[in-house]
Amino acid sequence: MKDEYQLLRIPGPTPIPPSVQQAMMKPMIGHRDHTTKALLKRIKPSLRHIFGTKEDVMIVAGSGTAGLEAAVVNTISPGDEVLVIVTGSFGERFAKICESYNMNVHRYEYDWGKAFLPEEIKSYLKKHPSIKAVFATYCETSTGVLNPVRELASVVREVSDALIIVDGVSAIGATPMMMDDWGIDICVTGSQKALMLPPGLTFIAVSQKAWNRIEKNHHSRFYLDLRRYRTNLIEDSTPFTPALSLLFGLEQSLNLLKLEGLENVYNRHQMMKKMTRAAFKALGIPLLTNDTDASPTVTAIQPRDFNPDQFRNIVKEEFGLILAGGQNHLKGKIFRIGHLGYCTPQDVLQTISCIEIGIQRIGKNIPLGDGVRAAQELYIKEG
């Protein structure tokens, strides 16, 4: 029994609801069949709602990184100037994608664990008027930071005609995204995060301004050519074979989000963030981010007096609890707890309880129950 039990609390892939798993077990259908067209037609309105856009959202069989690369290759040409805001590992990934296509990349880097400051970006753009796109990460998964992309879009619009392109992979579906109202041009997410699916789908929403840029861009692309997806989606189809089983699951996950109500979904994630942070404050274990910058989907913890990776091994062995480690220069220095998607406050209470025992096991003396009590009190007060 112990060998088969797993408590997955990483920021993706995330647990999958049973009803979504059942939906993905439906018999295979023809991808050019009218049944697939009807499925895509049913899915489209819900995706638009989650992204906060009137535009159809492209569905591409691929990881979230495929969506990020599609955003780059469809809008920018080699030699073009772009600004990439780096607040962690996934901002760094955006920069590497742009560099791989020989773009002139300006990196604006922040200390990992801090959100970017829109006014600083505004000042930088004034000094570099040739920049054609600004790339930003909504939730920086590697640090547990939620960046102010709404405010970023506002200041960019004041001083530049650059496109605003956002990695929303560990944010969309768990925290608000009003793409049209905020003035964001391209937003990308993946299936394995708040949308409660296995990895394998990326979703890309594009503004009219960005479409105009895409139509004029002569950069070579084939599978990731968003023009193909747009043309086919008008006819409720895809240019290439879709991941049909994932689409079955997607429809059900979208139904679950609709049934709960997006505002309630967002409030649940805020509650889980606050409970998690309250627990570690009560235990006297430092958090990587401050309360203002903290993401509702993942919390990064930076212990001073025990080894995070040894601790993660202990709770995995004893409880089947899987936590994420640090990335790049934070490897071995932090651990991260994912609380997004198919996750509830009661899951947080279970996770904190296991963590307290794990901390004791590694040799740090803490009063058992203080973290759980703080999370409980937060829930009672605000829930």
Binding site membership for substrate: which residues? Answer: 336
Residue 127, classified by CB atoms within 10 Å of its CB into exposed (0-12), middle (13-18) or buried (19+), is exposed
Task: Give ∠ CA 230-263-353 in degrees, rounded to 5.
Answer: 115
Strands 186-190 and 201-206: antiparallel
C-beta separation of 296 from 270 below 8 A? yes
DSSP secondary structure code for residue 330 in this structure: G
Helices then strands, counting H and E runs in the chain, come out as 14, 14
User: E strand or H helix at 326, and its extent?
Assistant: none
Whole-angstrom distance, CA of residue 188 vs CA of residue 96: 17
DSSP secondary structure code for residue 27 in this structure: P
13 preceded by a cis bond (ω within 30 of 0)? yes
Helix axes 370-382, 345-361, angle to 10 degrees: 160
CB-CB neighbours of 229 under 10 Å = 24
Could you tell me which of 191, 217, 207, 216 has the C-alpha nearest to residue 66?
191
Whole-angstrom distance, CA of residue 209 vs CA of residue 164: 10
Whole-angstrom distance, CA of residue 94 vs CA of residue 76: 13
Q: Which residues contact 83 (CB under 8 A, 6 or more apart)?
A: 106, 108, 121, 124, 125, 128, 131, 133, 134, 135, 162
Which residues define the annotated binding site?
Answer: 336
Q: 23-55 burial, b if ≥16 CB within 10 A, otherwise e?
A: bbeeeeeebeeeebeebbeebeebbbebbbbeb
SS3 321: strand
Task: List the structure tokens of 33.
Answer: 């069949």
